[in-house]
A and B are shown apart, each in its own frame.
Chain A
Amino acid sequence: MWFTEGKGDEDIHVHHFQRYSASHYPEGLSGQPQFLRTQLPVSPISYHGKLLRICWCLRLRLFIENGREIVAQHPFVLLPSHAPR
C-alpha cells in the first residue's frame, strides 16, 4: 500500500490485500515466516517533496483474540523502473 504524508489530508491506496483467518493456523502463529507475492505498479513512485510525501509500505495488522490489534509497518521505496538500483 501507499499513503501520503505532508500538508494535505492523508490519502491511502491498498495495492494488495490478503487476509489470513484463524482457521488457516489452527495451532496459532509459531514464528514461521509467511511469504507474500505481488507485482508492484509503476506508479506512484516513492516521493519526498515540499508539501507531499508518498510512502510505500507493507502493513501487517494482527487481530488478537481479546480484541486488541497490533500494527506493524515496514516501509520500502518504489523507484521508477528505469532508475539505477
Chain B
Amino acid sequence: MAAATLAGTVGEAAFLATLFLAGVLVLALTVAQRFIPIAWTPLATGLGFWLLLVLGVVMVVLSGTGLILGILRIGASSERRNAIAQRAEELELIGKSAAEFPSVPQDNRLTDSPGVKLRYRLPATNWAGKRVAAAAALALMWNAVLLVLLVVVITSFWSERPRKVLLALLFPMSGIGIWALRHYISCLRKTSGVGATILEIDQHPLRPGETYDAYVVQLGKMQLQSLRVELICEEESTFRQGTDLRIDRTPVISEILLDLHNVPIDLGRPWEQEFRIKIPSQAMHSFRSPHNAVHWKVVVRGEADPWPSFCQSFPVIVQPKIPPPKRNPR
C-alpha cells in the first residue's frame, strides 16, 4: 500500500472517529440542555432542539457507517468488496456433502469465483479487519461514554452542584480513552499496510495422487522477511469436557510448497509466484461428520517489517479418487 493511500486510510478513519465522538457530544449536550433545568447560556447555540438532535444523530450514523465500511474493506480486493456488497459475508465456506461422496464437503462456495490467471480463485477464511474492528469498537464506545460523563460534569458545575468525584474519575478515564484511540489508529495503520493475498488454482476439487497448478499473489508495499506457502491436512475433533465443548486440531500432513526470504513487494507490481500442489496418493480425503473432520487447506504466511505478520488460510476440498471408467471390450 502506498504511503499516500495509507495516510488517506488512516486520515479518513481519524476524521470519521472524530466526527462520531463529536456527534455523541452534540447529542449528549442537546439532551442535557433539554431535560436539565439550569441556565445554559454559555452553551446556547440558538438552534432548535430537534435540529441539534438530528444533527447529532446524522453525525453518529454517518461516521459509524463509514467506519464499519472502511473496516470491511481492509485486506479485501475489489472483487471481495463487491461480494460483500452483494451478499453478507460468507459464514460457511464449505458446504454439506454431496450424495456422490458421502461425508465429503461440497466445493460449491469455493469455486464460485473465477481467477484471473487460473480457473478458480479460492476464498480465504481469515478476515484481516477483525483486530481493527475490535479496537475501533473499544475506542469509540469508551470515548462515547467519556463524553456523556463529561456533559454530566459540566452540567453539575453549571447547576452549582459540582460532581468532584466524577470529575476526578474523568482524568484516568480520559487517559484510557486516548490510549484506546491511539491503539485503534495503530492497528488500522498496521493492518492497512498489508495488502490482500490471492490464491488461484487450475482445478477443484482436488484428488489424491494428482498435481495442480496454483498461483499466489501478495499485494501491498513492504519488505517481507519470509513468505511460506504450505499445504496442510488437519484433523479436527469436537468433544465435551465437563460442561465445556472443546475443539482439538492437529496437522497430519504439512508440506511446504514455497519458502522464500527477503521478498520485496511494490505497489505497482504485486509479488506473484506460480507453484504446484501435489496431493499425496495415500492421503485421506476431506471428511466431515458432526463431531469430527479432516480439513485440507493452503496456508500463506508472511513475516514483514514494520507491518505485522500475516497468515491467510485457503480451504480446499480433497475428494476420494474415483476409479477410471470400465472399458467395454465390444
Contact = CB atoms under 8 A, between A and B. Distances in A.
Interface in B84-123: 100-104
Given A4-B292, A49-B235, A81 B323 contact: yes
A80 B292 contact: no
Nearest to B289: A11
B212 interface: no
Interface string A1-44: 00010111111010000000000000000000000000001111
Nearest to A15: B102
A6 B289 contact: no
Contact of B320 (A8, A50, A81): A81
B289 A43 contact: no
B286 to A, nearest CB: 9
Contacts, number: 87
Interface in B243-262: 248, 250, 252
B125 interface: no
Interface string A63-85: 00000000000000000111100
Given A6-B292, A50-B250, A51-B235, A43 B103 contact: yes
A1 to B, nearest CB: 12
A52 interface: yes
Contacts of A80: 208, 285, 320-321
B285 A8 contact: no
B287 A54 contact: yes
A78 B292 CA distance: 18
Contacts of B248: 7-8, 51
Q: Which of A10, A13, A44: most chain B CB closer than 10 A?
A: A44
Contacts of A6: 237, 292
A57 to B, nearest CB: 16
B285 A44 contact: yes
Nearest to B99: A41
Interface residues of B, number: 30
B279 to A, nearest CB: 12
Contact of B103 (A8, A10, A13): A13
Contact of B291 (A4, A44, A47, A50): A4
Contacts of A42: 100-101, 320, 322
A35 to B, nearest CB: 24
A44 B289 CA distance: 10
Contacts of A43: 101-104, 285, 287, 319-320
Nearest to A5: B292
A44 B237 contact: no
Nearest to A50: B250
B306 interface: no
Interface of B: 100-104, 208-209, 235-240, 248, 250, 252, 282, 284-285, 287, 289-292, 294, 319-323
